[in-house]
Structure 1
Amino acid sequence: MSPDGGFAVFSGQRAVRAVGVGGEVLWEYRHGCWGPELGHPHSGDEQEVCRGLEHGSCRVSDDGRTVWAHVVHEEREYWVVLDAADGRELARLPLEDSAAAGSNHVSHPDGIHMGLSIGMGQDGILLYWARWDGEKLTAWDLNETMDRILADVHPGHRGFLTIEHYGSDLRLHALDGDTLATAEPESGAEDEEPGFWDYGCGFVDAGTVIAAAGEDGDEEDAERAGHWLLDAHTLGIRGRVAYPDGPVAGYVRPLGDGTWLTYDTGTEILNRWGEAAAG
């Protein structure tokens, strides 16, 4: 979604599209097919959906001027920067080592930098940062030192959050990748399996992080599961969120304005919370 709410961008199997508030297509950027086999034939039907779950992603920059997208061209993956007004390609970066199952973008609030996290299944995670100054695309990767999922960026430009591939810890990093703080999930007794963080986490506001502790369904894990508030600078754990009707587990989406969203898969209800409402 653009910052002013005027349009949204969608990453499809064969195109990135910008769509206006009335549902009209504003522009389309065509690319290769995210099918299970690069270069596989199509019937010629524009509506054909090819098998496989592989996909790219896209995001509008926080200043609303560009759209960044992870795409395929001629059996090769690229990270492209598009003009948000008309979809014109401004720059592209080949992603030599990527064999994506999926990806996600995280936009930096300065409007210049963008982060890209690419999941490759059992082959791990790739993590990139790049900046577009209006003329030149400059990118760097953190793949020699990390196998981590990019989760969120501090609203005051004070670093970004990552989660270890299997949830063993949560880290705060400077933009160059240096680790500033680390948080491990709460542990149980010595003979219990260690806890792990789920993939949902981020900045509630400039001073607070919320993170979801994972659970495998047994009684010990249930005691540790739920959502935890952490200090945004040290990642010190402040405590578990006390929701009015009992613990809430699973994915959490912080909004950066002091609130966060949770979704109950049983009731299909989306709730918005603040620290006061959640205790």
Structure 2
Amino acid sequence: MYSTLNGVVCLTRAGDLMWASDFEPHSDVRHGHRPGCALSLDGRTVWVYRPDAMAGRGGGDQWVVHDADSGVDVARRELETVGHGAFHHLHPVDGSIYIDIGEGQDGSVILRGTSGADSEPEFVTYPWQDRCLIDLAPSGHQFMTVDHGQADVAFHDHPNGDVLFTLPVEAFGYDPEDSFVEWSGGYLTEDTAIVTLGGESQDEEERFRYHLVDVRTGTLSGEFTVEASNPYDLGFV
């Protein structure tokens, strides 16, 4: 399964075409919009983000749910976003799907979709336009966001989004004038998350530090050594 600038394609494990769905009308805009897709946890539905506003299709963005076997539309949510792209995050237990839509300098919008075997998909929009979704805990009981302006990291209860605790740059011992929370990191274990702090050294070279946070207590647990020059090379399974 993959998306292109003008459609989504679903393949069998052997690589044979199952179905394809074109985004109409066709867009000739080549840059600034990147559709995305994700298969639900139960394999029954495909969730597709369409950045139609930036693609110049004459309407707003859409989040479309397809039947995974046939490609038939199951649900369609008209969004109030003008996004460049989005990241899907599957909840590991209840099958709901989070989506983080990036609107460039205008911020980031987080939604959650739910779909039961015998029920219509439902959509919830969280009341922030200034937080980026970074990761879900392995059990899915909470999730991690970073301020779009990179001033802090926050941990939220699933599914309501209530803030459990927030850690600003100062909590890690850095000056917010020359340091920031990077849009990376995530849950190392159920009880521990990695938060990335970035900034510049005195010789103006980029520096990154990786801090462990005990998500049960909201306290720092020391630094974590990472053999990576780029914080986005830090992967989580």
Q: Tell me whether 159-168 or 177-186 shows the greater mean CA deviation.
A: 177-186
Q: Tell me whether 99-108 or 203-212 shows the greater mean CA deviation.
A: 203-212
Q: Tell me whether 63-72 or 14-23 shows the greater mean CA deviation.
A: 14-23
Say if 2:191 and 2:216, in contact at 8 Å, map to a contact too. Answer: yes
Of 49, 52, 57, the residue aligned with 2:31 is: 52
RMSD: 2.5
Deviations 1:252-274 (A, max 9, x none): 2221xxxxxxxxxxxxxxxxxxx
Q: List aligned pairs for 1:2-151, cutoff 5 A.
A: 9-32=1-24, 50-71=29-50, 72=52, 75-95=59-79, 97-134=80-117, 135-143=119-127, 145-151=128-134
Say if 2:154 and 2:167, in contact at 8 Å, map to a contact too. Answer: yes
Structure 2 stretches lacking a partner, 5+ long: none
CA–CA distance in structure 2, aligned partners of residues 188 and 140 of structure 1: 35
CA–CA distance in structure 1, aligned partners of residues 94 and 16 of structure 2: 26
Of 165, 168, 177, the residue aligned with 1:193 is: 177
The equivalent residue for 1:254 is 236
- TM-score normalised by structure 1 residue count: 0.72
- Percent identity among equivalent residues? 26
User: Quick one: structure 1 residues 14 and 222, their matched pair in 2 at CA, closer, same or farther if it must change by over 3 Å?
Assistant: closer
SS at match of 1:205: coil
CA–CA distance in structure 1, aligned partners of residues 136 and 110 of structure 2: 14
State the Cα distance separating 1:220 from its structure 2 match: 8.2
State the Cα distance separating 1:217 from its structure 2 match: 5.4
Deviations 1:69-101 (A, max 9, x none): 112476332111122223221111111x21111
Say if 1:61 and 1:111, in contact at 8 Å, map to a contact too. Answer: no
* 4+ long deviations beyond 4 Å: 217-223, 246-249
CA–CA distance in structure 1, aligned partners of residues 35 and 149 of structure 2: 22
Structure 1 stretches lacking a partner, 5+ long: 1-8, 34-38, 43-49, 256-279
SS at match of 2:179: coil
Q: List aligned pairs for 1:239-250, cutoff 5 A.
A: 239-243=222-226, 248-250=229-231
Deviations 1:113-135 (A, max 9, x none): 11111111122111111211232
CA–CA distance in structure 2, aligned partners of residues 236 and 219 of structure 1: 31
State the Cα distance separating 1:237 from its structure 2 match: 2.0
The equivalent residue for 2:211 is 228
Say if 1:56 and 1:104, in contact at 8 Å, map to a contact too. Answer: no
Say if 1:171 and 1:181, in contact at 8 Å, map to a contact too. Answer: yes
